[in-house]
Amino acid sequence: MILAFGGNGQLGQELTRAAAASAIPLAALSRAQADIADPAAVRDAIARHDPSLVVNAAAYTKVDLAETEIEAAHQGNEIGPVTLSAACASAGVPLIHISTDYVFDGTKQGPYVESDPIAPINAYGRTKAAGERSVRESTPLHVILRTSWIYGEFGQNFLKTMLRLAATRDELRVVADQRGCPTSTSDLADAILAIASQLLGGKKPWGTYHFAGSGVTTWHGFASRIVAAQAPFTGRRPRVTAITATEFPTPARRPSNSELDCSLFERVFGFRGRPWAQEVDAVTRALVGETREKDSHVA
């Protein structure tokens, strides 16, 4: 069985759903059930579940707050991976660890490949880079999967924020000079289960990979697609105005290029992320279409 940590996050919940849909045995533990920075809790969880594979979907993900909540980000993204990878190493269990495009500085012209030098430009990226390093140092039995711009039906994400704003505002002003690859949690969960299938089948694809939705856009392009996708259900069509990152200052700097080259993942694991716009339509439909249907029953 697969044991996942961070079970209440947007990815953790999607993993639970995806595994259940494919009848893959998976137990997902919330932070309350197992804090990955707590060695005794992690050891106990591994002893109790006796997994064939561990997935770390837990992380401190508040990119702006990480600039000031330094200890919380350190615990979740550095101490957690150290603790978890050490426990996996001593139990001889492989670990799939999720990392981020924000380990790069965004100055590259084209998409980032796995061997590109990392140079994070914000505190979140620095803690995630340190987490990757400790996983590599603690256990050879690891797959590190870097992904980007995650959204889905569960938890909090950019797509849900845009839906909320689109419901009340006539104009959304969204950054258009940062580009990346929106990735649905559904796609990402499938990617993780594809890795799991190889590992549990005895293959040894150890190392670092990039996986994201296919295609590239900007936050403005992402928002425009979300607004277009919800309009048929809500009748709301706010204007989406392109602005620059300097017009929308945030505590944490973001890379201007977050595009990930996922061809290595595709060669090794045999599939690629679905086109990002198609996934945005599907997730929006699931969120807004379902809500409207429920509302109409109430009325």
Ligand X SMILES: NC(=O)c1ccc[n+]([C@@H]2O[C@H](COP(=O)([O-])OP(=O)(O)OC[C@H]3O[C@@H](n4cnc5c(N)ncnc54)[C@H](OP(=O)(O)O)[C@@H]3O)[C@@H](O)[C@H]2O)c1
Residues that bind ligand X (CB under 6 A): 5-6, 8-12, 31, 35-37, 57-61, 75-76, 80, 98, 100-101, 128, 147-150, 155
Q: Which is nearer to ligand X, 4 or 93 (CB)?
A: 4
Q: Provide the minimum distance between the beta carbon of 299 and ligand X in the complex, in angstroms, as a whole number.
A: 32
Q: Provide the minimum distance between the beta carbon of 204 and ligand X in the complex, in angstroms, as a whole number.
A: 23
CA 290-276-113 angle, 5° bins: 145
Q: Which is nearer to ligand X, 39 or 155 (CB)?
A: 155
Q: Provide the minimum distance between the beta carbon of 71 and ligand X in the complex, in angstroms, as a whole number.
A: 12
Q: Which is nearer to ligand X, 155 or 231 (CB)?
A: 155
Q: Which is nearer to ligand X, 40 or 171 (CB)?
A: 40
Is residue 209 annotated as part of the catalytic site, yes or no? no
Q: By beta-carbon distance, which residue lies closest to ligand X?
A: 9
Catalytic entry in 112, 124, 151, 209: 124
Q: Provide the minimum distance between the beta carbon of 10 and ligand X in the complex, in angstroms, as a whole number.
A: 4
Q: Which is nearer to ligand X, 165 or 231 (CB)?
A: 165
Q: Provide the minimum distance between the beta carbon of 259 and ligand X in the complex, in angstroms, as a whole number.
A: 13
Q: Which residues are catalytic?
A: 124
